[in-house]
Each structure stands twice: as structure tokens, then as C-alpha cells.
Structure 1
Amino acid sequence: MKKQTILFIGAGRMAESIISGLVKSPNIEDIYVSNHRNREKLMNLENKYGIRPSFSWSSDAEKADMILLAMPPEAHPEFLKELKPVLTGQFVVTIAAGIGPSFLEEHLGQDVPAAWIMPNTASEIGESMSLVAYGQAALEHHKLMLKDVLDAIGESEVCTEEQVHQLTAITGSAPAFLYAFAESLIEQAETYGISHEHAVKLVSQMMAGSSAMLKLKKAPKELREQVTTPGGATAEGINVLVQGGYSRLIKEAVIATNRKALGKWQENQ
């Protein structure tokens, strides 16, 4: 498969996270980035990653195999009106919350190859868990093209559009839940007289090691039981979490996240 050229429309944090992974891929020819609101950001990205700043995205679109929309959901409808007459067969991919391939097809045409990916910020270190849904016109070579992108930033899972809507709260938003958990542990560790830096080291390594155990395909229940001696100290801590509705709160947080995302999506229709 030939090396591909990608045009990013938008240069926010997630776009930069993806770019930082892509520049390491041997399958990428060129990366163009357009960000009309902040030319200084483009210069910084050029210095940092060697990307090509795009000051006329419509002209650079003809060079691209893939156009990756890294803009807010609410900016899509107006931009897609401008994009439609410029397209000459490019694969259009969005990373915006709530903007699935059906939305792209509705605005660009059913014959336009389209996809929706939802990575997370761990793409910055090549450890994202990305969700992807394809439109009707996406062919095998488009999927291979996008797989190159997703492999450069971590792992991915192909889902239906509805599943991406539902699961983004778990793969995209739940890292924030995890970091909030870490913050609480760090704060408590500091009350025992250690420095903030020491507390961060203890908690981050504990979480990294625990995540590594999960990645060995061991069941969370099995791992929890290994740590939890019946009637022991850990069991006492688990009891506090259970009595506080820990599992219920996590599930409610996911549901609330999805509800909010759905509301934003409906606003953009």
C-alpha cells in the first residue's frame, strides 16, 4: 500500500496527540495541518513534528488521501458545505463527538467514503483505545488506510455507529474518571507526610502495574479477589466503596456522559 497524505482540519489537543503518533509511522508520506484561527500553532507544530502548515486547506485537499476533521462538533455542518464541492474521492474522517459517518454522508453524499473515530488522549504516547465506525462507501483500502493511522496511536476496535455513541464514555471519557480516582489517592497519600512528587510516583506506578495485569487478559474480578483476603484490610476498604454505591456511581457517570453527548449531537442536527 502506498504511503498516504493526510490533511488535518483543526490543530487542537487531540489532533496534536494523533499527529505525534503518526509522525513515527513509516506509512505516512505527508501531514498537512490547517488551523486558520491560529497560525502560530501551525508554526509550532511544524517545528515540533515536521508537518506542513496549510494556509489554504481547499488547495491542499487535492493532495490528500484522507481528510481528518479535528474540529468541534458544532463547526461541522458549515464546514461540510464548503468541503463538499472540493472533494475528489478523498476519505473523510472525523474525530468529533457525536458526528458519525451517517452525518457525514448526509452532508457530503452517500458515495463519499467516510468514517468516525473516537481516540483518547493516550494517542499521544501510542496507547489510545480508539473506536471506529465506517460509512457505506468505505472500501477495504480505506479501512486499511485508517488502520495505519489507528495502529500508529494505539489499538482500535471497529463498532457500529450506535456503539461508538455509547462506548465513547468508556474509552474516551472514563480516563478522566480514572485520573480523578488517582487525584484522591494522591491527596490521601500526602496526608501521611510524603511529598506530592512521591505520592504521584506511588499512585501512578500502582495504576500502571494494575493496568498491565488487566492487559494480560486476566478478569478484573479474579484480580480483585487476589488482592482481597476475606475479612482482611482490603476487604474493609472494598466494603466502604460498596456501601457508598461505587459500582452504581461509575455506571451512572457513563450514562450521564452519554446523555450529555447525545444532547450535543441532537443540537447539531
Structure 2
Amino acid sequence: MIALGAVVIIGGGCYGAFYAAQLQRARNDGTVTYERLLVVDRDPACQVATQDPAPDRDVVVAEWDDFLDRWLDPDVRRTGDRPDMIVPSPLMPHLMANWIMRRARDRWPEREVRTVPAAVPLGTPFDMLHGDGTRYVSFADWLCPTHCIEPGLCPATRAPRTWEMGEAVEAWTHARGTERPTAGPALFTCRHVAYGVGMYPAARAFEGFDALVAQVEATGSADLVVGSVSACHGAIGLIRVAEQGVASAVEAR
């Protein structure tokens, strides 16, 4: 049995409703146990909210960023044998990169903290830089099955899966580190847990922020590579903390 703490599902629409039902099924048959299931959606009439109540499930009506700012407390969130987990939505924005950037701005209010484009290609079959600077990448140049759990034998190619997105992002990060101080990658790697539901530990957020703090303290300024990835797909962002005094110089112009 897989023992988890609190499990947060991002979004209460069609994906969130599917994930909640599958996790409750896994709990009922003894595959997974968790302390609480939280479904977060800004719409009080989202799909999950209109379903019959479940004793172990709560719908939290909130913006995702606002919820994460409250919930991601390093003094509260659990690790170890029963970690708190996050189930991402495939259609959500780069929430964890945004959370780390807000933490960085709180930590260094006198500095410029911003995202910069992940301009260098990763080299995967699908590799696109979005207008907001996030690079979206995939080893798949085919249409993947819905709710694919990314097994060792790829269901699309019917051949062994020889790729791992986390390894590719680590190599990409190392290359960026030869150009300027670069921390990470802070990887939020979604792994299959049960019945088509993937998730990652909430503690990855704190680890990513701590890596940025350590790099800035060592080199004065730094980039942090943030990757929301699975084995096959990913979104890569770059957060930059400028040197002391840069923010005031920008504001003065």
C-alpha cells in the first residue's frame, strides 16, 4: 500500500473529477491511503463540487496561486513516509515556477526577480518556445493515449521507452551553467501512482527554492531552471535573480 499525507488535485473540472474518482477507487481497494483529498478550483460549481460529497474529499474554492501560497508551508507540509502530494492538471500554467518566483521576490525585495526566456532548444522532437518564455518539450511526435502512465514499453511506438525528460533537462541545465550561474533543475516530476493518476511531492517546491537561495548566496545572482515534467513531456522555465542594486537601477530609469 502507498501511504500519502494530504493530496491536492489542481482543478475540479473533467481532469480533476477523473483523478479524484480514481484515487478514491485506489483507496477503497487498499492500493493507496491518504489523509485528505483536496480539490482546488476557483469555480464553486466546478464538476467535482456538483458530485455527491465524499467523507475524505474537500473542494477548496480558490485561485490556484493563492491556495499554493497558503498551503505550501515548509513547517506544515509533510515529507518522509507519508508525503503531501500535488496532482497537476495537464492544462495548468507553470504554477510551481510562479510560486518559486513569488518566494524569491519576498526574499529579495530589493532585487529584480523575473522570468527570462528559456531560449536555447532542448533538442526533443517537439520543442517550442512559448511567448511567455516557457519552453514546452516532448519526446513524442505522435498523439499519446489519454491518461498514459508512461510505462517502460511505450504504447504508441510499441517499443521500449529509452528517454527520460528529467535527464534531458538536467543536461540542458548543466549547459546553461557554463554560461552563467545556474541552479537546479528544480524538477516537479509527475509519476504514476495508481489508476492513471500521477503526482509529485509538495516538498519539491521547497527544495527548488533552497537551491536558488544557495546559488544566489554563492554567486551574487543566479538563474534557476524549473521543470514541470513527466518521463516524456515537460515545461521548462527560467527564473533570474539579479545582482544587488539592479532593481533600483531599473526603477530609476
TM-score higher than 0.5: no
Structure ranking higher in helix proportion: 1
Q: TM-score range by the shorter chain?
A: 0.3 to 0.5
Structure ranking higher in strand proportion: 2
Larger Rg: 1
TM-score normalised by the chain length of structure 2 = 0.35
